[in-house]
Structure 1
């Protein structure tokens, strides 16, 4: 007796069904996995940083009245000094960490431990994913996330900020390098300390030397969507080793990406129209680490 056709079709369907399941499973293995994190990505604030040329300065190396008026700078100059601690080989910096001690005139010392993540082609979310994979996420309230937005470069950073009493220090004066180093080693956060192994951070900091100090003047104000605008004028050693170069940085802080984008475009447009714009990014931290 011949096997009925319906039964044959049923067997064929079963084989096809098994093949479909197998193919689906294979595709599931091959498909790129969406990153799964225990906590959501951090939400960054933004700081737009645009460098100006010395054409923006007067004979006393202060911003000209035209520059101040153009960017809403109304405050008087305030002094600050700061320095970075790293080894001669810049071991901390090589791992994306920068450790800074800063003193604003009349204030306590600010100890800053900052981890940087590059932003490629403006993809801030990808940088936040990378940071999340390293343990920097929305649950870690010890670190503040910020995107530094320069002329053409963006960097995501996570900063752990601590303070040390400025009692006994006048103006923006700095402690001896050994004193500053001890403060920073004693206050080191856990993520940095154990970055490449137990006590790696504190051991590296203990072997560090001071890069700096440098002293700057800062003028503040408000412009467009930012009520935290500023111009910093920083004299640094020239690359040749002799003489002084003046770094002029215009900055604006905001919590909103859209506002940051508009501030970035408008600041560049205004500065360029007046012949003040430096067409590039000057990385102050790297410059100080390299020259001091």
Structure 2
């Protein structure tokens, strides 16, 4: 009887061991339910339409008719800025822009922007691509925006920081080495580790300043946008022997519907008066290429 009881206990223990083994095996074979991905970011919009120099007077200020047509009422305010990149434009090649800007009487603005192209007007596809790179609705450090030009749309995520303007008057800029050190010290993690550990800070540390350039900006409100502006930016011409003037009309808004209407109406108004530039002038690329 004792032998039978021991045998039963042995069989019971064996059965428990087999069951436990099967449970562990099944746990290994059956994948865990993946965590739900965060939703895509919700962007704001900025419509950017370029005008020809027919919109400017002899002093390269917007003519009164242009201001009246687009609700521009403010006086001019100066801002200086420059971009930092290597001579081979390694940051730009990866869709990154790093900018230092100084508005008159303000602290310096440090901007780290990642761009995603919008193809065929498919903003959702660009947002999905950005999501896969970690730019999603949970990201509280980067502001999503769609820049909507004459024919081109670009999704961007900007991480904005500041540096004290104490000791700098007007829109004056620091030396290139000083500005670069500020930007390296404040670099966001996404950029720093973009292509590997410390890739961003190493690349930025080897960069030079493209610029500075100084523009004049007039502000106002038009249609659904209470943030309308005209920026006049003088840049070196391609030959380096003179100056080209970039005239950018822009409107900021929160919704796609408002942006679409502003885009349509701004183009129609500018075209009707003979002010419209039929294309997209990329200011960042101009500055990177010419300075």
Would the TM-score normalized by the shorter structure come out above 0.5?
yes
Aligned residue in 2 for 1:166: 165
1:166 is paired with a residue of what secondary structure?
A: coil
Using the alignment, how far apart are the partners of 1:289 and 1:201 within structure 2? Answer: 18
Using the alignment, how far apart are the partners of 1:235 and 1:218 within structure 2? Answer: 12
Aligned residue in 1 for 2:103: 104
Aligned residue in 2 for 1:209: 208
Larger radius of gyration between Structure 1 and Structure 2: 2
Matched, 1:80 2:79: yes
Using the alignment, how far apart are the partners of 1:285 and 1:120 within structure 2? Answer: 20
Shift of 1:251: 0.2
2:218 is paired with a residue of what secondary structure?
A: strand
Shift of 1:259: 0.3
Q: Deviations over 1:154-176 (max 9, x none)?
A: 00000000000011111111000
Alignment of 1:249-288 (within 5 A): 249-288=248-287
2:277 is paired with a residue of what secondary structure?
A: coil
Shift of the 37–143 alpha-carbon distance from structure 1 to 2, 3 Å rule, reads farther
Aligned residue in 2 for 1:224: 223
Alignment of 1:43-82 (within 5 A): 43-82=42-81
Shift of 1:285: 0.3
Runs of 4+ in 1 over 3 A off after TM superposition: none
Using the alignment, how far apart are the partners of 1:213 and 1:241 within structure 2? Answer: 15
User: How many aligned positions are there?
Assistant: 257
Q: Deviations over 1:49-91 (max 9, x none)?
A: 0000000000110000000000000000000000000000000
2:211 is paired with a residue of what secondary structure?
A: strand
Shift of 1:37: 6.1
Using the alignment, how far apart are the partners of 1:205 and 1:118 within structure 2? Answer: 23
1:115 is paired with a residue of what secondary structure?
A: strand
Using the alignment, how far apart are the partners of 1:235 and 1:37 within structure 2? Answer: 48
CA contact (8 A) 1:37 1:132 kept: no
Using the alignment, how far apart are the partners of 1:37 and 1:158 within structure 2? Answer: 22
1:141 is paired with a residue of what secondary structure?
A: coil
Aligned residue in 2 for 1:11: none
Using the alignment, how far apart are the partners of 1:104 and 1:150 within structure 2? Answer: 24
Using the alignment, how far apart are the partners of 1:37 and 1:99 within structure 2? Answer: 32
Aligned residue in 2 for 1:130: 129
Q: What TM-score do the two structures reach when normalised by structure 2?
A: 0.88
CA contact (8 A) 1:112 1:160 kept: yes
Matched, 1:190 2:189: yes
Shift of 1:98: 0.5
Using the alignment, how far apart are the partners of 1:86 and 1:240 within structure 2? Answer: 21
Shift of 1:240: 1.4
Aligned residue in 2 for 1:3: none
List gaps (5 residues or longer) in structure 1. 1-35
Using the alignment, how far apart are the partners of 2:143 and 2:78 within structure 1? Answer: 24
Using the alignment, how far apart are the partners of 2:106 and 2:222 within structure 1? Answer: 25
TM-align CA RMSD: 0.8
CA contact (8 A) 1:37 1:133 kept: no
